[in-house]
Amino acid sequence: MLTWKRRDKIGYMMEEYCHTVSIHGLQVSYFDTGSSKDALLFLHGWAAPISLYSPIFLKLKEKYRVIAFEMPGVGGTEEPKSPMTLEDYAAFTLAFCENLGVARAILMAHSHGGRIACRLLSDPDCPLKASKAVLIDAAGVPPHHTAGFRLRQKGYKALKCLAGAAIFKPVFLPIYERARERRASDDYKNATPVMRRTLVNVLTADLRPVLGRISIPVLLIWGEHDTATALEQGREMERLIPKAGLAVILGAGHFPFLDNWPQFSAVLDAFL
């Protein structure tokens, strides 16, 4: 839990070091502080503004040049004009780094940002060179689904087909729309049309086939009770990345740095 004094300090820090830059025709809001030659690039989670990660930035800015940008459609960054794919996010990240002259950095990422980080780290020709990486409750490994879930998924797809057929549409379209509303996540419900299509694009990305190409040391930090990217996904990522180690943050969910800061901070210190 953050004290009010710490919250005030974080708010001042974010206001003092927030900048904007144009990337791929979009005005991008970003954070850049610290005088060290060693850069640390942070990639945030889906719809999570960079201010949410202020405790991490405040801790690390004394040792690193900490850089974090808000991705298209998040915080102070403009929404993309068309839906993005994982490849688009990777290209956007590289364009941002090129603009700031960042060619080498420690890569730290949370949730959706972890999906982008894995895409970059698994490319041996990536122009951004990372010495090590920290992935926090990272996305990119599909969850394990039970037989019951797969059966319901087939039923939902059949219902969608019936709702799209002219002869059945009057009967099945209302049923399908109610089912779609029940199934939709909060992220999907809260997103604009272009960001909804973007979310669908990135959720289908399965990075398991390329995780073995990541050759640098990787620290995986996972909340013990994460329900967004389950701990079993973290264990699978640890198994597939050659030089990965997994640290489980006790009592924490998808945002372990907010739920158990003392353990999270100690684990980070030990690795960095």
Mean pLDDT by 10 residues, the chain (272 residues): 43 63 96 90 95 93 95 94 97 97 97 98 97 97 64 60 72 62 65 91 93 98 96 97 98 97 97 94
pLDDT for 177: 58
Q: Which residues contact 217 (CB under 8 A, 6 or more apart)?
A: 132, 133, 243, 244, 245, 271
- Contact between 221 and 108 under an 8 Å Cβ cutoff? The reply is no
pLDDT for 4: 35
Q: Which residues contact 140 (CB under 8 A, 6 or more apart)?
A: 114, 115, 118, 205, 206, 207, 208, 211, 237
pLDDT for 154: 62
pLDDT for 5: 43
CA angle (11, 15, 16) in 5-degree steps = 115
Tell me, yes or no, if the pTM score tops 0.85.
no
